[in-house]
Amino acid sequence: MQKKEILENLKSAVIEGDEDKARESAMEALQANIDPLEAMQMGLAKGTDTVGERFERGDAYLPELMMAGEAFKAAMEILNPEIKRQQKDVADVGTVVVSTVKGDLHSIGKNIVATVLETNGFHVVNLGVDKGALEIIKEAEKANADAIGLSALMATTMPSQKEVIDALIELNLRDKYRVVVGGGPVTQDWANEIGADGYGKDAVAAVGLLTTLLKS
């Protein structure tokens, strides 16, 4: 089976929410010596992008989103051990707490970012989904984090990203953390508006952004 076909199968497995197909395609990717990170970013992530876009348009609903997430998770159970095995020794860049904000149950994009950050030398504390401002800040304090990454898939939950930054200001902790935002509807203009330190369009952009921010 050709590489292009395998990547397309990974993408369609996520779109269809087919866990068995996701596992099978992930194993085929490894057998074909496709880099597992490439399989995630050029296969699985393409599927999550498609489902996310459909969700934003109202052409897909929460059940489809959750099924896509389960398919992604199933494939990553196959790919993750190989990602970790191949991971080279890299300098510890810093600690990042990542979370999907209050009211948002979307986890796929955040988990992709978390995985790519880890493979690039970051220690990542992944809080999950639907977390409020004070809970996120509490965990960042507990982890002695350097940065906080906030994900929002829905336009209606984007204000929850602002709530985290506002809470940091109220607690006199804003200068302690670099705060970056991302998610389907999020833009650089929104990041500027709420006073975030940056916006990551995708996982690769997030790594570059946080690396630059923490080094500075």
Q: Once rounded to an integer, what is the mean pLDDT over residues 11-15? A: 95
Residue 156 token pair: 């209606």
One domain, residues 70 and 146: no
Do residue 155 and residue 174 come from a single domain?
A: yes
- Residue 22 and residue 13 in contact, taking contact as beta carbons nearer than 8 Å: yes
Asked whether the predicted pLDDT for residue 87 surpasses 80, the reply is no
How far is Cα of residue 42 from the mean position of the Cα atoms in its chain? Answer: 14
Same domain, yes or no, for 101 and 77?
A: no
**CATH code for the domain of 127:** 3.40.50.280
Last residue of a domain, one of 67, 86, 105: 86
What pLDDT is attached to residue 182? 94
For residue 138, pLDDT beyond 80: yes
Mean pLDDT in residue range 108-120: 84
pLDDT at 157 over 90: yes
Query: Is residue 32 very low, low, confident or very high in pLDDT (cuts 50, 70, 90)?
Result: very high
Q: What range does the domain containing 12 cover? A: 3-86
pLDDT computed for residue 64 by the predictor: 87
Looking at the chain, the whole-number percentage of residues with pLDDT higher than 90 is 60
Confidence of residue 89 (pLDDT cuts 50, 70, 90): low
Among 25-34, 55-64, 72-81, top mean pLDDT goes to: 25-34
Is 68 found in the same domain as 111? no
Q: Are residues 134 and 114 in the same domain?
A: yes
More confident residue, 34 or 58: 34
Number of compact structural domains in the chain: 2
> What tens digit of pLDDT does each residue of 181-210 get?
998 899 999 999 999 999 998 888 888 999
Domain finish residue from 86, 105, 139:
86
Against a cut of 0.85, is the pTM above it? no
CATH number at residue 37: 1.10.1240.10
38 in the same domain as 125: no
Shared domain for 103 and 210, answered yes or no, is yes
